[in-house]
């Protein structure tokens, strides 16, 4: 009976969090952490001595400060929900690690694997989920909440899960056709509205995270997670020259500062492309002319606006000649 009352309280906590601005997935994560904390400390009554002992115990076990900071923030929200206003210990924010961005080769390998699996109801759906992530930049909570009516006229309507801007995102023609085919042939009719379904109804957060995690492990990338594809989408758009304000709209960011996080990552990507190009530039062919030595450098896929040939000519006397 006590457990039932606690579970009911947790559900009320989730509802309260959503009402105060959390997304559904964030609110549910906070509730799960409170459930875990209940095993270690008294969460019904504020006891700072017990909380400090808990923190010390966790630090001695090598738990990262980031984890403790999240736990204390969730506990603060819990006590506020109970009507207890308090400030719990905070920890200096450590530099965030570079987000994992899947490579083109990894994505191709995963999609090819999905295509070869015999259970079409499951694997056509899984392939299209990944492609929808890749070509829309949707967050996991946004993707699982997609409905059939959101797919229309070559685009998909995405409702923000972070109280930011809802958005209409264009889809590649082929993906749009594949989604329509999936709906007519392979979609499990276990939910009247959901675009992506399982045997139990609308596909849920934990099930989808597990699918992506298992695929990442299979291809040697256990760090792969649904948000990785959002990073891929944003950095790919920026690296290919899309205006940052357009990227902001497509990602649904309320502030452009959120989008700017991706600019340094895309600059790194551009740097890698430039390095590869420079390496190819200096695999050259010498051509002897009448009055000067010329070096012909073929510039990959580059084209010039002035109708040039894609050949760079360098004179031996030039101070910039590296011959």
Cβ-based neighbours of 210, under 8 Å, separated by 6 or more: none
Active site residue 227: yes
Active site residue 162: yes
Alpha-carbon gap, residue 235 to 223, rounded angstroms: 18
Q: Residues 30, 125, 139, 231: which is the catalytic one?
A: 139
Q: Residues 162, 213, 269, 294: which is the catalytic one?
A: 162
Q: Residues 54, 77, 176, 262: which is the catalytic one?
A: 262
Question: Any idea which residue has 């740097």 for tokens?
Answer: 271
Q: Residues 176, 230, 231, 232: which is the catalytic one?
A: 230
Active site residue 77: no
Closest among 181, 123, 215, 159 to 24, alpha carbons compared? 159
Helix (H) or strand (E) segment spanning residue 81: helix 65-81
Active site residue 253: yes
Cβ-based neighbours of 269, under 8 Å, separated by 6 or more: 101, 235, 239
Q: What stretches of the chain adopt beta strand conformation (E)?
A: 151-152, 155-158, 167-170, 197-198, 201-202, 285-288, 293-298, 311-312
Alpha-carbon gap, residue 65 to 73, rounded angstroms: 12
Given phi > 0 = left and psi -120 to 50 = alpha, else beta, which region is 300?
left
Q: Residues 227, 269, 294, 298: which is the catalytic one?
A: 227
The alpha carbon of 306 is separated from its chain's Cα centroid by a whole number of angstroms, namely 39
Q: Could you list the active site residues? A: 139, 162, 227, 230, 253, 262
């Amino acid at each position: 009976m006590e457990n039932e009352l606690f579970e009911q309280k947790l559900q009320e906590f989730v509802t309260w969090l959503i009402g105060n601005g959390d997304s559904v997935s964030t609110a549910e994560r906070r509730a799960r952490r409170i459930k875990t904390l209940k095993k270690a400390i008294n969460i019904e009554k504020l006891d700072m001595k017990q909380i400090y002992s808990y923190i010390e115990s966790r630090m001695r076990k090598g738990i990262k400060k980031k984890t403790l900071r999240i736990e204390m923030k969730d506990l603060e929200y819990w006590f506020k929900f109970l009507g207890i206003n308090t400030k719990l210990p905070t920890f200096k924010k450590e530099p965030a690690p570079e987000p994992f961005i899947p490579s083109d080769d990894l994505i191709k390998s995963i999609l090819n694997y999905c295509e070869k699996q015999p259970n079409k109801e499951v694997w056509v759906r899984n392939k299209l989920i990944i492609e929808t992530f890749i070509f829309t930049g949707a967050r996991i909570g946004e993707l699982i909440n997609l409905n059939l009516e959101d797919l229309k006229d070559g685009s998909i309507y995405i409702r923000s899960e972070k109280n930011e801007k809802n958005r209409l995102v264009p889809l590649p023609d082929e993906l749009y056709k594949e989604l329509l085919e999936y709906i007519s042939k392979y979609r499990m009719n276990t939910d009247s509205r959901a675009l992506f379904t399982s045997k139990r109804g609308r596909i849920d957060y934990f099930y989808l995270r597990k699918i992506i995690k298992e695929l990442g492990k299979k291809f040697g990338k256990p760090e792969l997670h649904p948000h990785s594809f959002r990073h891929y989408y944003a950095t790919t758009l920026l690296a290919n020259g899309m205006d940052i304000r357009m990227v902001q709209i497509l990602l649904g960011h309320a502030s452009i500062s959120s989008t700017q996080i991706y600019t340094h990552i895309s600059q790194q990507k551009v740097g890698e492309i430039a390095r590869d190009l420079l390496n190819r530039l200096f695999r050259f062919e010498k051509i002897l002319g009448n009055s000067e030595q010329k070096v012909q450098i073929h510039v990959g896929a580059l084209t010039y606006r002035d109708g040039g040939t894609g050949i760079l000519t360098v004179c031996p006397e030039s101070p910039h000649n590296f011959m």
